[in-house]
Amino acid sequence: MLRYFLTALLFTALPVAAESIDCRVIGIADGDTFSCLTAHKDQVRVRLGEIDAPELKQPYGSRARQALSGLVFGKDVTLHIQDLDRYGRTVARVTVGNTDVNAEMVRTGAAWVYRDYLKDRSLLNLEAVAKEFKRGIWSLPKSEQVAPSEWRQAQRSGSTSQRASIRPPSTSPQQSGFSCSVIKSCRQMSGCAEARFQLRSCRNPRIDGDGDGIPCEAICR
């Protein structure tokens, strides 16, 4: 218990102390986030500082995750800690031997420079070269070269608009042949029409887990 208390104190002090921690990477969430274990078996969630990789649902998102995995998964890394973010992740520059992982992700076109949090301006030069040689994300069509921060904002705005636009249909339960007497799961739906009825008329939140206004996406694509 004392060890966990001391670990908590350490991470509370991270923003003001220039700490370095060694750990082994055990999981990759996406192109800029992973988990690792310290020698004391404390798990640390790490966000690569100063860069922003495409989200998994964005173009190149899965390939960015693969790129990070190839660099760090199963390896011993050093975290050069910069901050602790609002999600409790340790923000760090990460090295594997002599390789600066953050810089390598930008150099190979697997991530953008995150200008809102930029400290090392040499990353901008790496991004410019990657863009010039059309590496990674820069090989995509222009319409798909959307910075993750802009993509996330668009997703939030879109989801809000979709949720606000949901209104009960004019068709009554008797007219549609469906009923709200039983709140169903997606597996129990007769089809997309019933799923939409359950979401809009019966206000069944379970069938729209991501809140995008589309119920039971396996049958309502």
User: Catalytic positions, please?
Assistant: 47, 55, 89
Query: Torsions phi, psi of 4, nearest 5?
Result: -65, -35
Is the separation of the CB atoms in 96 and 23 below 8 Å?
A: no
Single-letter amino acid code for the residue at 110 = A
User: For residue 117, what are the contacts with CB-CB under 8 A and spacing of at least 6?
Assistant: 49, 50, 91
CB-based burial of residue 84 (10 Å sphere; 0-12 exposed, 13-18 middle, 19+ buried)? middle
Nearest-10 Cα torsion for 19, 67, 209, 85: 20
Q: Which candidate, 76, 74, 54, 72, places its Cα nearest to that of 64?
A: 54
